[in-house]
Amino acid sequence: MDRDVAAPRAGRRVVMLVDNAVEGDSRVQKAARSAADAGWDVTLLGCAHVDAERRWQLGDAEVRVLPLDAPRPAPPGASGSPGGVAGLRRRLVARGGLPLRAARLARRPVEHAQVRYWRARLGDRAWRRLEPGLWGYERLAGPVVDALRPDLIHAHDFRMLGVAARAVERARAQGRDVKLVWDAHEWLPGARPRRDNARWLPAHLGYVREYVGHADAVVTVSDTLADLLVRDHDLPQRPTVVLNAPVATADPMPGAEPAPDLRARCGLAADTPLLVYSGAMAPQRGVDTVVEALPRLPGVHLALVVGDPAAGYVRRVVARAARHRVDDRVHVLPYVPHRQLVAFLAAADVGLIPLHHWPNHEIALITKFFEYAHARLPIVVSDVRTMADTVRATGQGEVFRARDAADLARAVRAVLADPGRYRAVYDRPDSPLPGWTWEAQAERLDALYRRLLTPAPAPTP
């Protein structure tokens, strides 16, 4: 390696921050591992509700998951007893939840009034009153970041932006020049609120607006989102786009197990038509539409590769399949390690992305899109803008109207009638696959780090 290229990395410590337990976040894992492979001294700090701190190695990167404060025990009669609040909630839910939903609606005017009052008093700083739980990440991760004395902090997603910005301020007050990279995983104004209250979104929007100006550089997942971030925050530079692409090379770790066989886990022969959906399960992901389409697709099976096969919504999807008498053709499987996923998916015939229309669904090429492509699967995607436009341009699949089971079945039949036509896209000289790899994206991230940490030349006397 050229000495001038390696010099910015020599002895330089990068701390990455994320508000989860790391293991389910492939983008964060890939970023940490590839940066460490490139020569940076990487520590990845996660914050999650775990019993105790967890540590492991991810390649040459150190991973530490810090335990967020556990909920305080409720006083007697307040939670577990039949007369407590939680007991009342359970009884209301068991009866259909109508009084509970009425209570939620009744409290909305109060929550909106709180938002108006605190925003009028504090502006963007109103999150301190509307979402004080954000301080939990600061109390947990702030001292650890300070002790690590990083040269660069890479804050993933929105919750860790303020934690990183305050750590940078403390370091600079001590005379250390620390750079801050914010990695915007989604467009926050278009996010589905994580909790059912009117305070959540205004609080987090203010939180991001307060601290985005502290970032020395912004990274994001798509060109469309990059443009939105420039518009929303008047950024002086366009964000660096780092796609959520999969790792193209095989896992180099000694003794790594080969990917399991998807069809064997489903108990299916090689000639049985198999659709696969891989990823998070929620109503807006559109898997219900796939189940509704199965009666129109005789003999076609569906594999659902999900984080928690026993989750409540997954069980509801399977129950819906039973009502349509297609549950014998629906197979629920757990996740495999992300470095095995492409090979695992490749045994299917079609990759499904049946998303509903939602702002953040319109603007990105999501991780599973690239995973399906590298598995050389034809993709059947709903008409969410960016992915639908890409599929139409490349010819790698078919587009259907979101939430329209009949149109989804039409798209699947078209692909199954001539799968070679769609797979051929991946072998053309102008195939998009070489650019849709994490290795290509990691080069962009490494170049950004080096630019931020390369000392400016001394002025000419």
Residue-level pLDDT at 339:
80
Q: Residue 326, Cα to own-chain centre: how many angstroms?
A: 30
Residue-level pLDDT at 5:
53
Which tokens in the block code for residue 292?
């509704």
Q: Residue 41, Cα to own-chain centre: how many angstroms?
A: 24
For residue 350, the SS3 value is strand
Residue-level pLDDT at 6:
57
The boundaries of every CATH 3.40.50.2000 domain in the chain are 3-70+129-245+440-453, 262-433
The whole-angstrom separation of Cα 357 and Cα 354 is 10
Burial group, residue 449, by CB count within 10 angstroms (0-12, 13-18, 19+)? buried
Residue-level pLDDT at 10:
77
Q: Which of 232, 204, 192, 215 is nearest to 119 (CA)?
A: 204
Residue-level pLDDT at 110:
87
Residue-level pLDDT at 227:
96
Residue type at position 444: R
The whole-angstrom separation of Cα 219 and Cα 221 is 7
Please state the CATH superfamily assignment of the domain spanning residues 262-433 in this structure. Glycogen Phosphorylase B; (3.40.50.2000)
Residue-level pLDDT at 81:
36
Fold of 3-70+129-245+440-453: Rossmann fold (3.40.50)
Residue-level pLDDT at 95:
52
Residue 188 makes CB contacts below 8 A (sequence gap 6+) with 158, 201, 204, 205, 208
Residue-level pLDDT at 161:
98
pTM recorded for the entire structure: 0.84
**If the chain, 461 residues long, is cut into consecutive pieces of 10 residues, what is the mean pLDDT of each piece?**
60 96 93 97 97 96 90 38 43 55 75 92 95 95 98 97 98 97 95 82 97 98 95 97 86 69 97 96 96 98 96 96 98 91 96 95 92 97 96 98 98 98 96 95 97 80 63
For the sheet with 152-156, list strands across it: 54-58, 61-67, 41-48, 13-18, 152-156, 179-184, 217-220, 240-241
Residue-level pLDDT at 106:
72
